[in-house]
Amino acid sequence: MFKKSYQIEGVETVLVADLIVYKLTNGELHAIGNKSVKIAEEVFSYRLDGRHIFLQEENLGNLIRIDSTNFHTDKIEGAFSLRGAFYVDDQNIYILGKNEGKKVVYVLNKKSLTVKIKTDYRCFPSITTSKGCICKIKLELQYISSLLHQLFWTYSFPEGEKVMGDIFLHENVLLVPSMAGQMPNNRNYLQGVDVNTGKEIWKNEEYFLHLQQHKTSGLLYGFAGEKYQVIDPITGNKMIDKKFVGLKEEKRLQVYQGMSRIYEDGLYFISDYVENHYDCQFGMINTETHEIEFIQKLDVAKGVKADPPIYHKGSLYIKDSLDTLHVYGAEKVL
């Protein structure tokens, strides 16, 4: 269980990397580290990468980078769209933008924040390796060089099938969830693709479309309704495939796909509010025991919904549908 510490009103969005950063509805950007600090007065959009905060004061404007450890600020002038698409790896920053009225992808040097190349918008990285980038393009995947100019391979899906949810990489296996057909008669798959060759290694059915990857183990986790899965990323086999009986009736929980987040110690989830059926509650599945460790009600009025919990340095941050950020204490209460 967690104890409510405090709440912040008027919060539009919350992100986490090395620290919690939130944007107020009035455009102010704040960070929560050892203490709460105002980062900027009026922000259109922002993203995080480790200790760095990237922001724009307006769409298709300059890109600003702030080091949260010393507040050193760098700026690159241009017509960038941080909200449109943004990805950072060890060497490069990829960001959508415009050049002479055309949509382009800028590849920036991560250290100097200078432009390496700008190229026509054909693909945008979802994952990068030391060799190149994996891009999702309509009904296929492409593996392309880091500067987006040399194609290594293309993986095409069967007719009527498309990528759904996030894709992941573990060792040399690219993990791709996909769906064929339309709901409710759809068929869900998870396939392993060799990242070096683009060849399918395995393909299995009846998986969650929205999976999350544990940073340390590489295992994939899915949870919705009363069903919980843990998947081996190399073989695609379900290591755990269980049902938590009574969650909907006894516990009054309704957890949809995409309403949980994985962290080192567990899978934290939020329950949707449905009048006379389900309460707005949050909880955690212990990823070692694969049992629900706790469930508790969120401190909100009847009818209020919330985003999945963000876990950071022993505290939980939960933003509700009325733009209130609830912070639950740094220590668990037994």
11-16, strands of its sheet edge to edge: 11-16, 20-24, 29-32, 36-40
* Rounded mean pLDDT, 108-137: 93
Summary mean pLDDT of the chain:
93
Mean pLDDT of the region 105-123: 94
Distance CA 94, CA 97 (A): 10
Interval 303-313 mean pLDDT: 95
Q: CATH number, domain at 85? A: 2.40.10
81 neighbors 98 (Cβ within 8 angstroms): yes
Tally of domains within the chain: 1
Instruction: Evaluate whether residue 252 is within a structural domain.
Output: no
Q: Which domain holds residue 90?
A: 51-121
Q: What CA–CA distances, in Å, run from 178 to 136, 211, 235?
A: 12, 11, 17
What is residue 330's predicted lDDT score, i.e. its pLDDT? 56
- 96 in a domain, yes or no? yes
**Mean pLDDT, range 1-6, rounded to an integer:** 90
Q: Which residues pair with 326 in a beta bridge?
A: 7, 318
Is the pLDDT at 182 greater than 90? The verdict is: no
Are 210 and 225 contacting, i.e. CB atoms less than 8 angstroms apart? no
Q: Is residue 97 part of a domain?
A: yes
β-pairing, 102-109 vs 92-99, is: antiparallel
The number of angstroms, rounded, from the C-alpha of 174 to the middle of its chain's C-alpha atoms is: 17
Q: Rounded to 5 degrees, what angle do the CA atoms 261, 37, 284 make?
A: 20
- The string of pLDDT tens digits covering residues 16-47 is 999 999 999 999 999 997 778 999 999 999 99
State the pLDDT at residue 102: 94
Q: What integer is the mean pLDDT of 272-281?
A: 91
Structure tokens at 79: 């017509």
- Rounded to 5°, the CA angle 125-129-130 comes to 130
- Strands 325-332, 315-319: parallel, antiparallel or unpaired by DSSP? antiparallel
Q: CA 13, 42, 90 angle in degrees (round to 5)?
A: 65
Confidence of residue 88 (pLDDT cuts 50, 70, 90): very high
Average pLDDT over residues 61-70: 95
Give pLDDT tens digits for 194-215. 999 999 999 999 899 899 999 9
Is residue 332 scored above 50 in pLDDT?
no
CA–CA separation, 105 vs 80, rounded Å?
A: 9
State residue 334's pLDDT score.
Answer: 33
Q: Tell me whether residue 32 is in a domain.
A: no
| DSSP-based three-state secondary structure for 73 | strand
The pLDDT, as a whole number, for residue 181 is 85
Residue 14 lies in a domain: no
The answer as to whether 251 is a domain residue is no
Tokens of 197: 């060759």
* Residue 100 contacts residue 79 (beta carbons within 8 Å): no
User: How do residues 210-261 score in pLDDT, each as one tens digit?
Assistant: 999 999 999 999 999 999 999 999 999 999 999 999 998 999 999 999 999 9
Which conformational region is residue 315 in: left (phi greater than 0), alpha (psi within -120 to 50 degrees), or beta?
beta
Element (H, E) at 31: strand 29-32
Q: Burial level of 17, CB count in 10 A (0-12/13-18/19+)?
A: middle
Arithmetic mean of pLDDT, 113-120: 94
Does the structure show a pLDDT above 60 at 333? Answer: no
For residue 127, is it within any domain?
no
Residue 222's H or E segment, with its range, is strand 220-224
* Residue 331: per-residue pLDDT: 55
- 145 within some domain: no
